[in-house]
Amino acid sequence: MACAGRILVWWDREVDGVGRRIRPDARLAAHGIWEQACQRTVATLGDHGPAAELMECAVAQVSRYLDRLGAPDGSRKHGLLMVAFCRNLRRHAEKLGRVELVGGANELGIHASSRSWIDRTNARLDLERIVRHLSKPSTTVLMLRAAGFEWKEIARLLRTTPAAARNSFWREIANLREEFGRSHSRRSSDPMAS
């Protein structure tokens, strides 16, 4: 754990490990989410140590992804970068084979009694489950929307119309919700499923 008042930093570089330029908007977004990324790392691993390396990797990945899409510089990339950081963090935790809860039963009991905390946790779990089942185009749409892109920009990147991009994305979300609802009702009606 970090000492009180200690400021953690990550190495903000202009080029990645193989010499490719890292986009300034991705680097700026990293500074914007750095504190939240550190908190998530501590919550997931019980240690802030890997946060800097995970952030460097996420910034380079997002920069390459945006360059590959031909995305314009300057718009907010915070959401997209946080998605990449959290994916890297989850993979790192799985690789370590350990996910530690920070805090004891008393601290967790306080959170469990908070209805809004439970609702936020359930919403996050639902979102993660939906994202794992999205098609590649819909995942791209979700990441771009989270990064602040407008439907018109997304449609241009996907070479379609804004209405087609939006309708296709929301249709897939609705289908997944329906599918998850059916599987949940089957599990709750089958006492042997648990």
| Segment-wise mean pLDDT, segments of 10 residues, the chain, 194 residues | 49 77 85 87 81 88 86 79 88 72 54 64 77 86 84 90 93 85 59 47
Domain coverage including residue 44: 8-102
Q: Cβ contacts of residue 176 below 8 Å, gap of 6+? A: 130, 133, 134
Question: Which pLDDT value is given to residue 171?
Answer: 92
Are 157 and 71 a contacting pair, CB within 8 Å? yes
pLDDT at 108: 54
pLDDT for position 3? 37
* Paired tokens of 93: 């935790």
How many residues make up the chain in this entry? Answer: 194
| The predicted structure's pLDDT at residue 168 | 93
Which token pair is 167? 């309708």
Output the pLDDT for position 162. 92
pLDDT of residue 194: 43
Q: Which of 102, 125, 147 is the last residue of a domain?
A: 102
Q: Does residue 1 belong to any structural domain of this protein? A: no
138 and 161 in a single domain? The answer is yes
Residues 78 and 118 reside in one and the same domain = no
